[in-house]
Chains A and B, each alone.
Chain A
């Protein structure tokens, strides 16, 4: 029990009794009652302070005082709600943007795999002088894996998108094909049922393990799931276990819902890769126990691989290296790390602008509360107490801002991810791991930023608030008694303008760059073209698909509104690449070079709008049995036939020994990326394509009205033949948009942050000038009374306000020319000192700041001189 309450209960009565007794004594000594009371009070001292000090005896002093500060701070903030709201909102925006970006940084760069000792996990990487490969062939993996303990706990895996279930309820899901030891090495046992490791696991074949998420979604956590049958790409499997919640494999990009023995690969893909020694598709990881060095494992693995039958280029050259795999594997990490850092820097600047804004507000508040501070110091509050009071208040504001920030971050990232998913801007479903999770890291980050900001913002005016000349301050509240913070606050304004202009310039450059990216000549006209792909599953043979494909193409061509249609492998901006060798025939000196290949049906160039510069298109007469023909891209023609006419020349392509005749030259196109220059590309007839291209056929259909999407019609055409097929029809413009999603987001987000920064700076300028104007009312009154013209007063106030702003903008411009050096690699098609962009940013900033200053200046000019002078 707290003894404090009863002890303090009678204190007031006690003191009253004391003073009354003293008064009585004084009266007894012959003083008149009035004087007796006064003398008694004088002798007793300050009642309030005595009560305060007595209470302090019983308090846990520190906490008690902080609570008092909080209560007082709360009252002060409530007294000026507009100040509190402005400060909290500024900080919430700044901290919120940082929290949102940090949650991505956390997910992508900081989070480690949710397994025991993730730092012991390593990926094996295949390194040759030419390339670095993350995958191995299955025979190579077996050679590594069967060597047992010398390589640690080694296991292999691969990702597949699979069709789960049958009929209309079926859905696409990510599957992980896993080898023996996958679960033991990751130290993840099934939460219920068993995993696939050990006897009866991998070998028995048709067993699968599902994720907790899928169990929840499909089986509502029913125990009946165990033992039930599940169709995967049309083959039956048995569920034997459920993984614990939160485990979704070793990748961020592909959160697995189902784990399948890797030996079942033929069942999922329809063709077996298990003995293909030339196809690298198995990723290999190992857990290195303490005591085993990764160098030794690397050497051992290299030796093992070198004992395998290898192609001549790899013999003696191929090495195996180990890469730490404590963090989940992610292709997005490579793509997103540097844009994310850029974004992080941007929101850092935004936070700085917000902080300066709040510092403004606190400075102004401190000045307005000057009298209060003086009184508190006069009645004996220590300077430290005053300091702690002010820091408490700023911490309250920043904490409220931080709490709101987490909500803003959540709402903003939700809106963003919905936008991305809703506009099919991402080729793969947005990884679950990249959605906003207010986990401990993120919350700690937000709290940390809030506290740091609170202390810094609160401390600076607080320190000066302690330097008060008591006599001057108490004598009057005239401006002369206040410290002159004007120069300091205009310095703050300069800083704010500098940073927000920098922010605006970064945003401006990225937006202009994105515009340029959209204006790039792709070499073909994507608008109005839909690309369609079919997932054939395992039920169709290649020759069936060929027949099906030709039939579909005929149907597409006869559709109303379709101006032309064709087929190709791969399609434009597809995620698969096909490369092959190209060699001039008859020249012994000519080395084979690797070039990009597209196999196209007749009409491909017309459908995509690729100008055919010379020669002819493929015709239906170019078949498997006729002479090999090839069409070169412009770059190819220029490179290999700089002086002669390429048409009619003979070249060796696709590794064949029979030469192909060059029949045409097509204009260069961007095949996979808007940013990269046009690749060296050759076209071969689809009928003459070598290799497993049939399943990858893409249909290109151009409809005459680009505004009317034809995708749905195309999908129905496919379903008329087989309603069970998975079809994906996508406008080519969308596919291209996906490829520049990162640039789009960078432009949009920095643009948004730039605008918020601009807004905050404008509010800062407006607030500061409004405050200054109130202070200068008497002076303005005198000027007006002495005959100054209102327009001159307006101009005077405005000009003085614009001085620090102009200085800030000049500084910002200077800083931007230096800082944007870091931005160069993000910019496409414009220099980092693009005059148009810089001018536009300066103009925007100048206009906004000008207006923000004009409003209070006009109010100043409207002052009534008589009122103003009476005020003084």
Chain B
């Protein structure tokens, strides 16, 4: 992996992967690879997910009852596991999204004034 790429891509914050998975699955059930692809695609490849780390996260969400897994047939006609949001997961997504928004606003507010004060 080149240095240039490293600069372009941002590693995920702890716990944000869960939120991204939930948001992605809002579009409908999909298999693991599709989730990874979707996250990368929708962030214009800025967010880098080590794809393997998706699986512990998926299972963590299943354990909490926010998503469920079911056997399905993939677009290229193969048996695969499809993950989908549960009702509980939808509620959680709303909650997490609003939490995230608040956090983003707060962090932005902290960062912005410092930049202005720093100007002579």
**At the interface, yes or no: A14 with Cβ under 8 Å from chain B?**
yes
**At the interface, yes or no: A15 with Cβ under 8 Å from chain B?**
yes
**At the interface, yes or no: B88 with Cβ under 8 Å from chain A?**
no
Chain B nearest Cβ from A779, distance in angstroms: 45
Q: Which of B1-54 contact A (CB under 8 A)?
A: 31-33, 36-37, 50-53
**At the interface, yes or no: A525 with Cβ under 8 Å from chain B?**
no
**At the interface, yes or no: B56 with Cβ under 8 Å from chain A?**
yes
Chain B nearest Cβ from A54, distance in angstroms: 5
**At the interface, yes or no: A53 with Cβ under 8 Å from chain B?**
yes
**Are B32 and A18 closer than 8 Å at their CB atoms?**
yes
CA of A50 to CA of B52 in the docked complex: distance in angstroms? 6
**At the interface, yes or no: B78 with Cβ under 8 Å from chain A?**
yes
Task: Return the chain A residue nearest B62 by Cβ.
Answer: A7
**Are A18 and B62 closer than 8 Å at their CB atoms?**
no
CA of A107 to CA of B74 in the docked complex: distance in angstroms? 73
**At the interface, yes or no: A245 with Cβ under 8 Å from chain B?**
no
CA of A54 to CA of B56 in the docked complex: distance in angstroms? 4
Query: How many B residues, CB 8 Å from partner?
Result: 23
Task: Chain A residues near B37: list those with CB within 8 A.
Answer: 25
Which one of B50, B55, B63 contacts A15 once the chains associate, using CB atoms below 8 Å?
B55
**Are A44 and B76 closer than 8 Å at their CB atoms?**
no
Q: Interface SS of chain A: helix, strand, loop or mixed?
A: helix
Task: Return the chain B residue nearest A40 by Cβ.
Answer: B51
The answer to whether A44 and B74 touch (CB under 8 A), given A15-B55, A50-B55, is no
CA of A50 to CA of B76 in the docked complex: distance in angstroms? 25
The answer to whether A21 and B33 touch (CB under 8 A), given A14-B80, A45-B52, is yes
Task: Chain B residues near A7: list those with CB within 8 A.
Answer: 59, 62, 69
Binary A-proximity of B73-95 (CB < 8 A = 1, otherwise 0)? 01010111100000000000000
**Are B33 and A17 closer than 8 Å at their CB atoms?**
yes
Q: Which of A664-682 contact B (CB under 8 A)?
A: none
Chain A nearest Cβ from B6, distance in angstroms: 14
**Are A45 and B51 closer than 8 Å at their CB atoms?**
yes
**At the interface, yes or no: A58 with Cβ under 8 Å from chain B?**
yes
Task: Chain B residues near A45: list those with CB within 8 A.
Answer: 50-53
**At the interface, yes or no: B102 with Cβ under 8 Å from chain A?**
no
Q: Which of A427-482 contact B (CB under 8 A)?
A: none
Which one of A8, A24, A56 contacts B76 once the chains associate, using CB atoms below 8 Å?
A24
Task: Return the chain B residue nearest A56 by Cβ.
Answer: B56
The answer to whether A44 and B59 touch (CB under 8 A), given A10-B81, A17-B31, is no
Task: Return the chain A residue nearest B37 by Cβ.
Answer: A25
**At the interface, yes or no: A22 with Cβ under 8 Å from chain B?**
yes
Task: Chain A residues near B33: list those with CB within 8 A.
Answer: 17-18, 21-22
CA of A47 to CA of B37 in the docked complex: distance in angstroms? 18
Task: Chain B residues near A58: list those with CB within 8 A.
Answer: 59, 63
**Are B52 and A14 closer than 8 Å at their CB atoms?**
no
**At the interface, yes or no: A46 with Cβ under 8 Å from chain B?**
yes
Q: Interface SS of chain B: helix, strand, loop or mixed?
A: helix
Task: Return the chain A residue nearest B58 by Cβ.
Answer: A54
CA of A45 to CA of B57 in the docked complex: distance in angstroms? 14
**Are B59 and A54 closer than 8 Å at their CB atoms?**
yes
Chain A nearest Cβ from B89, distance in angstroms: 16
Binary B-proximity of A2-33 (CB < 8 A = 1, otherwise 0)? 01000110110111011001101100000000
**At the interface, yes or no: A690 with Cβ under 8 Å from chain B?**
no
Task: Chain B residues near A10: list those with CB within 8 A.
Answer: 71, 81
Task: Chain A residues near B69: list those with CB within 8 A.
Answer: 7
**Are B60 and A49 closer than 8 Å at their CB atoms?**
no
CA of A43 to CA of B60 in the docked complex: distance in angstroms? 21
The answer to whether A44 and B52 touch (CB under 8 A), given A22-B33, A24-B76, is yes
Task: Choose among A13, A24, A46, A53 the residue with the greatest number of B CB atoms under 10 Å from its CB.
Answer: A53
CA of A584 to CA of B77 in the docked complex: distance in angstroms? 125
Which one of A14, A21, A24, A53 contacts B56 once the chains associate, using CB atoms below 8 Å?
A53
**Are B52 and A49 closer than 8 Å at their CB atoms?**
yes
Which one of B31, B52, B62, B74 contacts A47 once the chains associate, using CB atoms below 8 Å?
B52
**Are A44 and B56 closer than 8 Å at their CB atoms?**
no
Which one of B53, B56, B60, B78 contacts A17 once the chains associate, using CB atoms below 8 Å?
B78
CA of A21 to CA of B78 in the docked complex: distance in angstroms? 10
Q: Which of A26-72 contact B (CB under 8 A)?
A: 43-47, 49-51, 53-54, 56-58
CA of A700 to CA of B87 in the docked complex: distance in angstroms? 102
**Are A57 and B52 closer than 8 Å at their CB atoms?**
no
The answer to whether A18 and B51 touch (CB under 8 A), given A10-B81, A50-B56, A57-B56, is yes
Which one of B36, B60, B74, B76 contacts A57 once the chains associate, using CB atoms below 8 Å?
B60
The answer to whether A44 and B32 touch (CB under 8 A), given A7-B69, A17-B78, A57-B56, is no
Task: Return the chain B residue nearest A15 by Cβ.
Answer: B55
The answer to whether A43 and B50 touch (CB under 8 A), given A7-B69, A54-B59, A58-B59, is yes
Task: Return the chain B residue nearest A47 by Cβ.
Answer: B52
Task: Chain A residues near B74: list those with CB within 8 A.
Answer: 17, 21
Chain B nearest Cβ from A15, distance in angstroms: 7
**Are B51 and A44 closer than 8 Å at their CB atoms?**
yes
Task: Return the chain A residue nearest B34 by Cβ.
Answer: A21
Task: Chain A residues near B62: list those with CB within 8 A.
Answer: 7
Chain A nearest Cβ from B111, distance in angstroms: 31
CA of A24 to CA of B77 in the docked complex: distance in angstroms? 14
CA of A15 to CA of B80 in the docked complex: distance in angstroms? 10
Chain A nearest Cβ from B53, distance in angstroms: 7
The answer to whether A14 and B53 touch (CB under 8 A), given A7-B59, A24-B76, A57-B63, is no
Task: Chain B residues near A22: list those with CB within 8 A.
Answer: 33, 36, 51
Which one of B53, B71, B79, B80 contacts A50 once the chains associate, using CB atoms below 8 Å?
B53
Task: Chain A residues near B79: list those with CB within 8 A.
Answer: 13
Chain B nearest Cβ from A842, distance in angstroms: 63
Task: Chain B residues near A43: list those with CB within 8 A.
Answer: 50-51
Task: Return the chain A residue nearest B75 by Cβ.
Answer: A21
**Are B55 and A11 closer than 8 Å at their CB atoms?**
yes
Chain A nearest Cβ from B68, distance in angstroms: 10
Chain B nearest Cβ from A69, distance in angstroms: 21
A/B interface sample: 24 pairs, CB < 8 A: A7-B62, A7-B69, A8-B59, A13-B79, A14-B31, A15-B52, A15-B55, A17-B31, A17-B32, A17-B80, A18-B36, A21-B31, A21-B33, A21-B76, A24-B76, A44-B50, A45-B51, A45-B52, A47-B52, A49-B52, A50-B55, A57-B59, A58-B59, A58-B63
B residues sitting closer than 8 Å to A (CB atoms) are 31-33, 36-37, 50-53, 55-56, 59-60, 62-63, 69, 71, 74, 76, 78-81
- Which 4 A-B pairs give the minimum distances between C-beta atoms? A45-B52, A50-B52, A21-B33, A53-B56
